[in-house]
C-alpha cells in the first residue's frame, strides 16, 4: 500500500496549535488546529482511538509529542 501524501499545515497554524478536545456531554473526542483568535477548533476530525491521533499527526508530517 502506498503511503498517503503529506498535507501542508493549514495557513496560519503550527504544530503547537494542535489540540485534542472532549465533549462534556457525550465524551466524544476531536482533534484539530485551535485558533486563539476565534476560540474554535479548525480542520477537526473525530478521534476514536490513539491510532486516530497518530494518523492525524502523520497526515501533516508532524512528529507526535
Q: How far separated are the first and last CA of the chain, in Å rounded?
A: 26
Q: Which DSSP symbol is given to 16?
A: G
Contact 3, 59 (CB under 8 A): no
Task: Give per-residue pLDDT as tens, 26-64.
Answer: 999 999 999 999 999 999 999 999 999 999 999 999 998
pLDDT at position 17 is 98
- Name the one residue in this structure whose C-alpha cell is 483568535: 37
**Where does the pLDDT of residue 3 fall: very low under 50, low under 70, confident under 90, or very high at 90 and above?**
low
So where are the chain's domains? 15-59
CB neighbour class for 63 (10 Å; exposed up to 12, middle 13-18, buried from 19): exposed
Q: Is the pLDDT of residue 5 over 80?
A: yes
CA dist., res. 18 & res. 4, Å (int): 20
Amino acid at each position: 500500500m502506498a503511503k498517503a501524501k503529506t498535507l501542508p499545515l493549514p495557513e496560519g497554524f503550527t504544530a503547537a496549535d494542535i489540540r485534542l478536545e472532549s465533549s462534556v456531554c457525550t465524551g466524544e473526542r476531536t482533534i484539530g488546529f485551535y485558533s486563539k483568535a476565534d476560540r474554535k477548533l479548525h480542520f477537526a476530525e473525530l478521534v476514536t482511538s490513539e491510532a486516530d491521533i497518530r494518523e492525524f499527526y502523520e497526515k501533516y508530517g508532524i512528529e507526535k509529542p
